[in-house]
Chains A and B, each alone.
Chain A
Amino acid sequence: MKKQALRYSMVLLIFALSTNIGYSQDGSSTASEKEEQGEKIRFNGLGRTNLLQTGIDGNLLEGDTLTPRSLTDGEFLLDLKINATPNDKTEVQTILRLRNEFGGFFGSGMTIEVRELWARGVIANRVKYRVGDMDMKLSKYTLYNYDEEGHVNQPAAFMPQKEIIYYEQFYGTDNTRRLQGANLNFGLQFTDVIRDMEFTGFIARVRGTDFFTIPSRFVSGGELQFSTYSLNDSLKTKADFGFYLAHTFDDLKSGEANTGIRNTVATFNWDLKIWDLKNTALHFMGETGQSWLVSKNDSVDFYSSDDSFLDLGASLHLKPQKVHVDASFLDVGPEFFSIGAQSKRIEYDATKKYYNRAGEAQDQRSPTLFDITRDPAIYTFQLSDKLMPYDPRFSNTFPYGRATPNRRGITVGADYGKNTDKLEARLDAAIMSEIRGQGTTELKNFTLLKAAATIHIDKYIDWEKNLRFTLGYQYELTDRGGLDVEKVNLSSNLLELGIEAEIFTDFEVLLGAKLLQAEGSDYIPRIDNFNIVSDFPGRSIIDDTETLLAGGVRYNFKEGIYITLQYHAFSSDNNLNSQQSYNLNQIFVLYTMNF
């Protein structure tokens, strides 16, 4: 009878449709302070004016008569968000974008477009749905938008331009991916052992067909998560566990296209709270799963691969000390492939908006700290069906985040404090190695060290205005033994320093510096379809130093509304060939208004 009496009640785990939630990338409603309760239609949005001048000089430009030494451009932009709640169970929203290029007059250079459109609601007070644009995230191995490389603790001076990139590319604050489709969400509550269950499912189209060779591509999946009651009341022992599934597939019935892929990643995750006492809490958590990649020609599979991963860890929270410590064992198979998790934000072979080519030979410049900090053109939110190129100077240990294939090793981390404390600090380290050699049976070893600290000096000296110092540091070493031709040794250091000083009320001075130094050599594989290493173009010998300095002022009219004037100077020094060295600089005025 007791089994039969596994009573559950359908409960709405979803939140009631909010009419007053913060502005976010997925379009969740943002209501201005002026809104009145009960309004059916609300208007919010973002306005931005960005004027900038970029210059280039240096040895690389000698003999170059094609590259303009200075470029000026900018934009005026208004994203008008119209949010309507026709009834208490339905909400629709669109963002209309009006944009004018700097120098465009009377309609010339002006565009009007729909940036976002979605509707959401609740079916029978039980099931939450959403259609149109949505931001989705599953686990770090299924659907996850990892942060881009090139920063550890970004100095505030570089944030305004980064925020533009994030906004334009729909990068959510919690590593979500922007998709267009539909999702469903509901929850169940139980009375025995399992306390509740939550289900989320979605399907989205991520690529359209050209009706000839390129089929439509869809990504679908979801998660099923369970949470238990306390299993030991004195220790507050508790278990959360569940499943993730991400399935990317080409519709071979669309148009004439008859070749496409299937990529499926299925995982099981858990978070066991062993105890949660007054002073300490201990968790065992992890995720494991399998990926499958199949390429189909009509109904025939002409390529397939599969591999597994395991992420097994523990974390300890020392509450009085405000310290979290965590450690994990990571094993991601060489052929593990997850389109949703391994697609990078930065396209290293994309055409840059500024000075894509430079020099007498008009060679394409490699993305630098300068480009990564300011150029939206090298960023993407699209999913890639093969492993994207990366630059080992910025990231060689985890170029695809924790989902980087062919890695096995240990990661450890610790953090201290919150943003209300005088000091926030985070330390991460990883000692990894390849599982499968590339071009040799010898394996590369990776050592990664990351440190970030934010010092709220104002709290130390009891100053009522904002005075903050930020520090970020990353050290990475890649090495491999064996024969001379197999040996690899590449080290890189990335240092970030930043100061925010509010010298008058709402008026801040911003200073920032980033330094990247990389030296050594490595082989960068050429990756073909299905992530097959086809060749090694040659040993990449690196001896570079990049320096990016920023200084400026910012006036904050109110939260979300500010104007900033900044000057950035960048130098790329190639120590192997000084003729390849060059400098970039920019001065810009940026006015941003969230309303």
Chain B
Amino acid sequence: MKRKEYISKGKAGLNLLKLFGILSVLIFAISCSHDEEPDGPNLEDRFGPFMIISELEVNRDSVDFASGQTVLFNAEFNKNVNWIITITGNESGAVKRIEGFSRIVNSVNAVWNGNTTQLPFFKIEMCNIELTIPEEVDFSSLASIEISSTRIYPGTLFTDFEQPAGSNITLGNFEFELTNNTARSQAFPAAHGDFFYLFEGTDNVVPNFFTGLIVISPQINGTEYVQFPTTVPENLYFNFFLYNDGRPYGIAVIQFAYDTNDNGVFNDGVDQTFQLTGDFPLNFTGWKQFSHTMADVGLTQELLQKIVAIRVLLISDMNSQPTPPLQVQFGIDYMTFTSGAPLSL
């Protein structure tokens, strides 16, 4: 009996040792498998000396953005670096920046479709192109390109003030507070094209906040009502650019007039108007893009069918103005409607 138990224990022991042996092989195979992708930033990129292998090259001398052409850039360095391509319009002053971190600049990471990073839009003009590396302050590689036609942005343009509007824009200088500069203007570079609409005035005749307005009729595009790319108010974006030279106290108001009496023309005090809560305080400098949906101003799909005018007002914030009040102003340009998303520059 004792011998039997001994044999039993011996067999069990051998089985146990065999099990350990098999387990060891399995464990060895499983435990020694690891992700071997290096940790942290590449040392060569981080500390290695910088060298340019091929200078900046542009794939064409002239580009026709309107027909869908693009500009491709090529350059090569000896290591991954942060690089910036800056394209500046010689006439417009428009700026497009393309940035990346790589060793090679090519069609994968450096393509320009004519858009802009910093307003205004590019014009038909010559552009300077500069490739810089922030960590290599002495490095610069230059090129140039001519724009033969500008990019056509998606959406339905309401007006960009490029053409004289005639009676389709009605000036409302009821309190004689607007200056004679209030008009379609070229006083400074437009956000798009050559013209924009400038408001300028002082609320010092009838100090009631209101300074002046314009009413823009859809007839500017030859239609009775404003045409939209969609009538779903949540998907319909109104986009425009405002300019301010930095002076405070001005507020821009944009109203959408619904043809309440169905007569096809705007009747002040009769047709219902809609505007964004809070409006657009002019607390910035330069051109700035604004976008909001038509649902944001309270318009429904039914109301969107009969927008008979867009009113643009200049308001002087008399709650903040000193005494006597100072002049306020703003410029407006490129009023356009897009579907599904705000206008992308």
Contact = CB atoms under 8 A, between A and B. Distances in A.
Interface residues of A, number: 46
Interface string A225-250: 00011111100010101000000000
A508 interface: no
Contacts of B34: 307-308, 333-335, 435-436
Given A310-B28, A335-B34, A533 B39 contact: yes
B40 A536 contact: yes
Contacts of A5: none
B20 A523 contact: no
Given A308-B30, A485-B43, A436 B35 contact: yes
Contacts of B12: 192-193, 231
A233 B5 CA distance: 12
Given A233-B6, A239-B16, A485-B47, 10 more contacts: A331-B32, A334-B34, A435-B36, A437-B38, A439-B41, A441-B38, A485-B44, A485-B48, A533-B40, A536-B46
Contacts of B32: 310, 331, 408
A532 B10 CA distance: 50
A440 B42 contact: yes
Given A193-B16, A237-B13, A239-B20, A536 B31 contact: no
Nearest to A241: B20
Given A307-B34, A331-B31, A525-B40, A232 B20 contact: no
Interface in A72-109: none
Contact of B38 (A308, A440, A523): A440
B108 interface: no
Q: Which of B6, B37, B43 is the most central at the interface, judged by chain A CB atoms within 10 Å of its CB?
A: B43
Nearest to A483: B44
B247 interface: no
B17 interface: yes
A507 B14 CA distance: 58
A307 B33 CA distance: 9
30 contacts: A228-B13, A230-B9, A231-B17, A232-B10, A233-B6, A239-B13, A272-B17, A307-B35, A308-B30, A308-B31, A308-B33, A308-B34, A310-B31, A333-B31, A436-B39, A437-B36, A438-B39, A439-B38, A439-B39, A439-B40, A439-B42, A440-B42, A441-B38, A483-B48, A485-B47, A525-B40, A535-B40, A535-B46, A538-B47, A539-B47
Interface string A414-451: 00000000000000000000011111110000000000
How many residues of B sit at the interface, in one of the four size bands?
20 to 34
Interface in A493-525: 523, 525
B24 interface: yes
Contacts of A535: 40-41, 46
B137 interface: no
Interface in B46-102: 46-48
7 nearest A-B pairs in the assembled complex, by CB-CB distance: A231-B13, A533-B40, A310-B31, A439-B43, A533-B39, A437-B38, A333-B34
B20 A272 contact: yes
A232 B13 contact: yes
A486 B39 CA distance: 13
A525 B31 CA distance: 25
Contacts of A192: 9, 12
Contacts of B16: 193, 228, 231, 239
A539 B44 CA distance: 12
